Amino acid sequence: MSEAPVAPAEAAGVVGVRVVSKAFGGVHALRGASFAACAGEVHGLVGENGAGKSTLIKLLGGRLPPDTGSVMLDERAVRLSGTADAARHGIGTVFQELTLLPWMSVAENLLIGREPRSAIGLIRRGALAREAEAVLAGLGIHHIDPRALAAEVSLAERQIIEIARVIIRRPRILLLDEPTSSLAEREVEWLFARIRELRDQGTSIVFTSHRWNEITAIADRITIFRNGQEVGTFTTIDEAKAITLMTGRRVDALYPSLPPVPDGAPAALALAHGSLDGRTEFAFSLAAGEILGIGGLAGQGHRELFLGLFGAPALRRGRISVGGKPVRIANPADAIRAGFGIALVPEDRKTEGLLLSLPVRDNLSLPLLRRISRLGVIRGGAEMRMSREMISGLGIRTPTPMQPVGALSGGNQQKVLVGRWLLAESRILLLYDVTRGVDVATKHEICELMVRLAGEGKAILFYSSDTEELAHLCHRVLVLRGGRIAAELNRPELTAESIVAAAMRDAA
Amino acid sequence: MKRLSLSPDALRVLAAYGAAVLLFVIGAFVHPGFASFGSITSILLVATFVGLVAAGQCFVVLVGGIDLSVPWVLNAAAILLATSSLGQDSRAAYAVVLTLGMGLVAGFANGVGVVWLGVPAVVMTLAMNGIIEGLALGLTGGMTCGACASYAPPVIAASVHDVWLGVPAALWLWLVVILIVSFVLGLTRFGRITYAIGNNPRAAYLAGINVSLTTVCLYGLSGLFSALAGILLVGFGGQASLGMGTPYLFQSIAAVVIGGVSILGGRGNYLGAAAGAVSLTALVSVLLALNMPDYGRSIIYGVVILALLLLYGRDQRE
């Protein structure tokens, strides 16, 4: 075990790239990068967003051809014409974007192209579901109904199906691009158990994640990317050093320290007699200057709670008050106008948050158009000035306010969504997994921003699929289980372990 | 690296104008006098009607919708104008208000069906087209009623044909419409919201925008513009007739597509659609000058639309 870079040539790689470059328009995603993974190893790939990890996976998985350089398979350059061609070479890939067909059943998605057929070639539908059930059970998955439509199961379950679909095809090279970003702790453990099995059978596994503890838990070797090039490959490396290499600058502490909630801080947002299932009730209140975490396994009602407080749609039951006054919230417009103003940064920034092909400026000003318009005409100067202020205030990395927001990195997109609500002067922020799929350095910035905003008296309700983050960043954490609050954890007993324990208690 | 280049959307608008100019040049080779001032203004006058319908179509296409009720909203508007004005100037103002109101109501009804009843836009507007066709035919007894033969009031005919500064009045009107629609889409809150909805209705809704109401208004505007085109067509031709709206469905959608408005919504502008209307009309005129028969023109229309959808549809998906 050493921290010295291992030369890629030391071990014979089964899959890799040699001096590849790939550009999209004027943006160079990879510039002369080389990489090799061996049989029977888990190779962690880390780097900031935009470092080239996903592009590398796409080249290896046959989704994109390199501009220059070559994809290597068993030490020979190969030309992959597509993912099907890659599959013929034994390469299976779980890409970052989900690819399930939403209106087909889990079973159909899972076994697509290899369905059980009758003598005359028709798909045997009854056998299909039974076979899918058996296949899932063989992988240790028991809670997903193979007859459900893919659109009906949760994001985490969809991700599990994506992974299962690739694994059952027995690839000898398995590429996983951010497979854990929508998974909760227990599901990650499930995935790691599968990965270890495959590795021990000699499969070569390339794995990317923004969660450092996952990388160190599973990876045999780690390759760090920065700006489209590999920086080095290591067998062990500590987090601080890795972050320095990834970002090219030092990050002092992973989580900023949290100032205490001022004594007697007024309640900004309170929910009484709230209910997600229409049966059990719960209540909580969130003080100005407080970061209140919502934890628990995926699919326990977090999403419904966040959307419900924002009126999209309203909670089944519950009385919401803002600043001590009861408010009626039937839709997002009500929430935005209610009292201090409620804001939501939703789960999926691409489908629920942003107008991807419109400029950063338009995305920032969307909720405050009424305020910056006179007789329905937008005051262009004011709009531009506010956008520039927010761009520099939050350090959003964009060449101009007119850049389409879809061209920004994930972390910067997330900052645009937060910035929008700061411009709208919302004082209650509902942040749903804001750090998901965001690189380490930007994650750090977002954490610092949250702490700063709390210090300025904003009330923050925060859900994260990263338990570690909840434990470090929140004053209090409510653990949801089965649509109700299973536990309230305060400092000092608030730790990642205590959250997980509360989330799993009597959940078999 | 910053490159000095136009956005793809701006390029499409330029391409639409380029196509129009090119067609006039080709026309001039085919038929001397094609590019004379008189010929150009008469082609532009014909394009005006397509352009006005395309303005409404542009609004609904920008939110990913479509208005197939154009033919009979336009036709009913033409009939309503003729029968309610009885060819008298004194009744013209009342008839115009009534007719535009009818268009607006038909459009709102489309919007309500699409937004609140959840009927797909294609089905809703097609059904509306059928309903209005039935009403128009029934109420006029198949255009046999006494008032049905009325001519356009002179003031309306004049507002199409009168020449100001060498250009027909209807063209000036279109110019004003181009300016107003471009202003609304580009600089107002309503326009910005329209693009936001077309881009991502869920995200717009979660940013507090009243997606339903805005969408209903957009369909209303489409009905209004169809009715306006119907009024001017009566002024242009003198009388209303059955089937006069039929060509405008295909042409309005074609103009919008040629002008670079994404059929999936969210991208494009009316400046492009107006250029699309001009190039489409110029194309028809060139084909006429070549003595191309009707069926040949239809085929060429279809091929142009398909080619453009293939071309523009590709870069949508990256």
Q: What is the pLDDT of residue A114?
A: 80
Cα B157 to Cα B164: distance, rounded to the nearest angstrom: 14
Residue A353 forms part of a structural domain:
yes
- State the Rg of chain A over Cα: 24
- What count of Cα atoms within 13 Å lies in the side-chain half-sphere of residue B17? 8
Q: What is the pLDDT of residue A19?
A: 87
Cα A291 to Cα A280: distance, rounded to the nearest angstrom: 25
Tell me whether residues A369 and B266 touch, CB distance under 8 A.
Answer: no
Cα A140 to Cα B17: distance, rounded to the nearest angstrom: 61
The pLDDT confidence band at residue B33, using thresholds 50, 70 and 90, is confident
What residues of chain A have any CB closer than 8 angstroms to a CB in chain B? 26, 310, 312, 331-333, 335-337, 344, 346, 351-358, 362, 365-367, 369-370, 373, 376-378, 380, 399, 420
The tens digit of pLDDT for each residue in B281-298 reads: 988 888 888 888 888 888
Cis upstream peptide for B201 (omega within 30°): no
Q: Which two tokens stand for residue B120?
A: 């797909």
Q: What is the pLDDT of residue B3?
A: 45
**How far B195 CA sits from the closest chain A CA (Å)?**
8
Helix axes B294-316, B270-289, angle to 10 degrees: 150
Q: Is the pLDDT of residue A251 over 70?
A: no
End of a domain among A381, A398, A423? A423
Residue A291 forms part of a structural domain:
yes
More confident residue, B35 or B179: B179
Spell B235-244 as b/e; 16+ CB within 10 A means b: bbeebbbbeb
Greatest Cα pair distance, chain B, in angstroms, is 71
Cα A410 to Cα A48: distance, rounded to the nearest angstrom: 10
Cα A470 to Cα A291: distance, rounded to the nearest angstrom: 10
For residue B198, what is the nearest residue in chain A, using CA coordinates? Answer: A355
Cα A178 to Cα A56: distance, rounded to the nearest angstrom: 13
Q: Is the pLDDT of residue A440 over 60?
A: yes
More confident residue, A184 or B209: B209
The tens digit of pLDDT for each residue in B269-284 reads: 999 999 999 988 988 8
- Percent of residues, chain B, with pLDDT higher than 70: 96
Residue with tokens 């001590």, as numbered in its chain: A324
**Confidence check on the interface: ipTM exceeds 0.90, yes or no:** no
3-state secondary structure chain B: CCCCCCCHHHHHHHHHHHHHHHHHHHHHHHCCCCCCHHHHHHHHHHHHHHHHHHHHHHHHHHCCCCCCCHHHHHHHHHHHHHHHHCCCHHHHHHHHHHHHHHHHHHHHHHHHHHHCCCCCHHHHHHHHHHHHHHHHHHHCCCCCCCHHHCECCHHHHHHHHCEECCEEHHHHHHHHHHHHHHHHHHHEHHHHHHHHHHHCHHHHHHCCCCHHHHHHHHHHHHHHHHHHHHHHHHHHHCECCCCCCHHHHHHHHHHHHHCCCCCCCCCCCHHHHHHHHHHHHHHHHHHHHCCCCHHHHHHHHHHHHHHHHHHHHHHHCC
Which residues in chain A have Cβ-Cβ distances shorter than 8 Å to B205? Answer: 312, 331-332
Q: Is the pLDDT of residue B205 over 70?
A: yes
Query: Mean pLDDT across the stretch A285-309?
Result: 87
Residue with tokens 């909720």, as numbered in its chain: A367
**How far B313 CA sits from the closest chain A CA (Å)?**
15
For residue B267, what is the nearest residue in chain A, using CA coordinates? Answer: A357
**How far B209 CA sits from the closest chain A CA (Å)?**
7
Which residues in chain B have Cβ-Cβ distances shorter than 8 Å to A365? Answer: 192
Residue with tokens 């890939």, as numbered in its chain: A93
Are A355 and A503 part of one and the same domain?
A: no
Residue A313 forms part of a structural domain:
yes
More confident residue, B186 or B9: B186
| Whether B193 contacts B13, CB under 8 Å | no
Residue A403 forms part of a structural domain:
yes
| Whether B196 contacts A362, CB under 8 Å | yes
End of a domain among A379, A407, A423? A423
A44, A208, A311 from A57: Cα distances, Å: 12, 9, 39
Q: What is the pLDDT of residue B71?
A: 95
Q: Which of B3, B187, B207 sits opposite A366 (nearest CB)?
A: B207
Q: What is the pLDDT of residue A62?
A: 92
Q: Is the pLDDT of residue A5 over 60?
A: no
Query: Mean pLDDT across the stretch A232-246?
Result: 84
The pLDDT confidence band at residue A252, using thresholds 50, 70 and 90, is low
Classify strands A221-226 and A229-234 as parallel, antiparallel or unpaired: antiparallel
Are A359 and A486 part of one and the same domain?
A: no
Tell me whether residues A358 and B210 touch, CB distance under 8 A.
Answer: no
Residue A503 forms part of a structural domain:
yes
**How far A305 CA sits from the closest chain B CA (Å)?**
15
Tell me whether residues B203 and A351 touch, CB distance under 8 A.
Answer: yes
Are A370 and A416 part of one and the same domain?
A: yes
Tell me whether residues A369 and B199 touch, CB distance under 8 A.
Answer: no
Cα B259 to Cα B251: distance, rounded to the nearest angstrom: 12
Cα A46 to Cα A49: distance, rounded to the nearest angstrom: 9
The tens digit of pLDDT for each residue in B69-96 reads: 999 999 999 999 999 888 888 888 899 9
The 8-class DSSP code of residue A149 comes to B
Which residues in chain B have Cβ-Cβ distances shorter than 8 Å to A378? Answer: 187-189, 192
Q: Which two tokens stand for residue B12?
A: 């499409």
B173 CA to centre of own chain: 14
For residue A363, what is the nearest residue in chain B, using CA coordinates? Answer: B196
- Percent of residues, chain A, with pLDDT higher than 70: 94
Query: Mean pLDDT across the stretch A129-140?
Result: 89
Helical H runs in A395-506? 410-423, 440-455, 467-473, 496-504
Long-range Cβ contact pairs of A380-384 (< 8 A, separation 24 or more): A380/B187
Q: Which of A312, A356, A377 sits opposite B188 (nearest CB)?
A: A377
Lowest mean pLDDT among A135-149, A189-203, A233-247: A233-247
Count Cβ atoms below 10 Å from residue B76 Cβ, excluding itself. 28
* Cβ within 8 Å of residue A2, ≥6 positions away: A235, A236
Taking all residues of chain A, what is their mean pLDDT, rounded to a whole number?
86
| Whether A215 contacts A64, CB under 8 Å | no
**How far A220 CA sits from the closest chain B CA (Å)?**
36
Query: Mean pLDDT across the stretch B97-113?
Result: 95
The pLDDT confidence band at residue A314, using thresholds 50, 70 and 90, is confident
Residue A54 forms part of a structural domain:
no
Bridge partners (DSSP) listed for residue A312 = none
The number of domains in chain A is 2
Tell me whether residues B200 and A355 touch, CB distance under 8 A.
Answer: yes
Tell me whether residues B187 and A378 touch, CB distance under 8 A.
Answer: yes
**How far A340 CA sits from the closest chain B CA (Å)?**
15
Q: Is A153 helix (H, G, I), strand (E, B) or coil?
A: coil
Residue A208 forms part of a structural domain:
no
Burial of A70 from C-beta contacts in 10 A (0-12 / 13-18 / 19+)? middle
Q: Is B205 on the interface with A (CB under 8 A)?
A: yes
B 229-268 near A (Cβ less than 8 A): 266-267
End of a domain among A372, A390, A423? A423
Spell B42-67 as b/e; 16+ CB within 10 A means b: ebbbbbbbbbbbbbbbbbbbbbbbbb
Residue with tokens 């039935």, as numbered in its chain: B134
Are A400 and A453 part of one and the same domain?
A: no
For residue B188, what is the nearest residue in chain A, using CA coordinates? Answer: A377
Query: Mean pLDDT across the stretch B254-272?
Result: 88
Residue A468 forms part of a structural domain:
yes
Query: Mean pLDDT across the stretch A79-97?
Result: 90
Give the angle A440-A445-A449 at the CA atoms, nearest 5°. 145
Amino acid at A121: G
Tell me whether residues B188 and A312 touch, CB distance under 8 A.
Answer: no
The tens digit of pLDDT for each residue in A257-281 reads: 888 888 888 888 999 888 887 778 8
- Percent of residues, chain B, with pLDDT higher than 90: 52
Cα B274 to Cα B286: distance, rounded to the nearest angstrom: 18
Q: What is the pLDDT of residue A9?
A: 42
Residue of A378, A384, A422 for testing the chain B interface, max B β-carbons within 10 Å: A378
The pLDDT confidence band at residue A506, using thresholds 50, 70 and 90, is low
Which residues in chain B have Cβ-Cβ distances shorter than 8 Å to A312? Answer: 205-206
More confident residue, A102 or B4: A102
Q: What is the pLDDT of residue B9?
A: 77
Q: What is the pLDDT of residue B145?
A: 81
The 8-class DSSP code of residue A55 comes to H
**Strand ranges for A66-209 from DSSP E:** 68-73, 76-78, 91-94, 173-177, 204-208
Q: What is the pLDDT of residue B79?
A: 93
Which residues in chain B have Cβ-Cβ distances shorter than 8 Å to A335? Answer: 208
Tell me whether residues B203 and A354 touch, CB distance under 8 A.
Answer: yes
Lowest mean pLDDT among A250-259, A269-278, B31-40, B190-199: A250-259
Q: Which domain holds residue A402?
A: 349-423
pTM for the complete prediction? Answer: 0.77
Q: Which of B188, B205, B207 sits opposite A378 (nearest CB)?
A: B188
**How far A70 CA sits from the closest chain B CA (Å)?**
23
Name the helix (H) or strand (E) containing A392: helix A380-394
Tell me whether residues B202 and A373 touch, CB distance under 8 A.
Answer: no
**How far B17 CA sits from the closest chain A CA (Å)?**
24
The tens digit of pLDDT for each residue in B117-176 reads: 989 999 999 999 999 999 998 888 877 787 777 888 888 888 888 888 888 999 999 999
Lowest mean pLDDT among A190-194, A357-361, B259-263: B259-263
Lowest mean pLDDT among A155-164, B12-21, B140-149, B272-281: B140-149
**What CATH number did the domain enclosing A271 receive?**
3.40.50.300
The 8-class DSSP code of residue A433 comes to S
More confident residue, B304 or B132: B132
φ, ψ for residue A448 (rounded to 5)?
-60, -40
Q: What is the pLDDT of residue A10?
A: 47
